Structure 1
Amino acid sequence: MTTAEERVAIEDVIYRYASHIDSGRVGDLEQVLHTDLWAQYGNAEPIAGRDRVISWIREATSTCIWQHHFLRTYHVDVRDDRATALVYHTSYQAFAGDKDVCQLVGRYHQELTRVDGRWVISRLVFEIVWGERRTDSLGYLASVGGRGPEVPGWP
């Protein structure tokens, strides 16, 4: 049986994974990814190794102006020092030189491993089920005072 404490610790790792990417602190992913991570994002080729995954994410987001993940952890199952998690995902990204905002909807299927008393993601499959591009054709963002303000000290 998964304890509430274990679930919170695992969810914290999952949410930090997304917030590190959203804030542009991709290097901080080392804190939440296993050194022997295996990952596959959509139909892209699988990637083996934490450093290679971090490099792939850094390259994939190199022209990203901002992004925003909405995650909801639906299932967490723990067995000893291994856990699985099903996480529903919706994210938005804006890229330099592109007026549209991209939306991705999918699910993360994750395995986590407890290493030295802390959880890290050891396997990640991102199942993409929907994607679209959106344009602010009416100028709504400007009318509500977006994008801003800049947050001091926030990357």
Structure 2
Amino acid sequence: MRTAAEIEAGLDRADVTEVLYRYASCIDKRDVDGIRVTLADDLWAQYGNVDPIVGGDAVANWIDEGTRECVWQHHLLSVYHVDLVADHATALIYHTSHQVFRASPETVHVLVGRYHNQLRRKADGWKISRLLFEILWGERRVDSTGYLAAVGGSGPQVYPR
């Protein structure tokens, strides 16, 4: 039988995991308000080798600017570890994403990496407070065979805002 503390820890892990998945799905939908809800006001973030960005608003705006020309995006995350100590959590998340941009709609951009995140429990739920995105691989793939058209796809349009 589980103790109350074990049940609480399981619920916290589920809540942290939900925040991490929501962060990525909101990026895919270009839902800047949804992204912002997942981020702490004093967030420190670094994506690859770009300069760190400080502040939840600054990070949400940076993501919005960087994805403005996306026709579609698809993030696949796997949350590997969530470790909890009181109102703090650390998480290791494996990441693979695909993006297609207006300038080259026949090319998909692929990124593979890992997020090393920290989260804090606030009055309104768990928030990402530190985000380090370690980029491990990137490539561009062109549909030179026409396979996408053959299977009847081209992806959705950008979500309205």
TM-score category, normalised to shorter length? over 0.9
Q: Which residue of 1 aligns with 2:149?
A: 142
Which whole-Å deviations, capped at 9, do the CAs of 1:94-121 have from their partners, x for residues lacking one? Answer: 0011121100000000000000151010
* C-alpha RMSD of matched pairs (Å): 1.5
Q: How much has 1:148 moved relative to structure 2?
A: 4.9
State the partner residue of 1:58: 64
Secondary structure of the structure 2 residue equivalent to 1:3: helix
The TM-score, its normalising length taken from structure 1, stands at 0.93
Query: Which 4+ residue blocks in structure 1 deviate beyond 6 angstroms?
Result: none
Specify the code of the residue in structure 2 equivalent to 1:48.
V
CA offsets 1:57-98 (integer angstroms, 9 cap, x no match): 111111111100000000100000000000000000000111
Residue 101 (structure 1) aligned with residue 108 (structure 2)? yes
SS of the equivalent of 1:104 reads: strand
Q: Secondary structure at the match of 1:45?
A: coil
1:17 is paired with a residue of what secondary structure? helix
Residues of 2 paired with 1:46 and 1:31: CA distance?
A: 20
Distance in 2 between the 1:30 and 1:41 partners? 16
Paired position in structure 1 for 2:17: 11
SS in 1 for 2:80: strand
Partner of 2:125: 118
Matched positions, count: 152
1:35 is aligned to 41
| Structure holding more helix per residue | 2
CA displacement at 1:40 relative to structure 2 = 0.2
> How far apart, in 1, do the equivalents of 2:155 and 2:99 lie?
16
TM-score, normalization by structure 2: 0.89
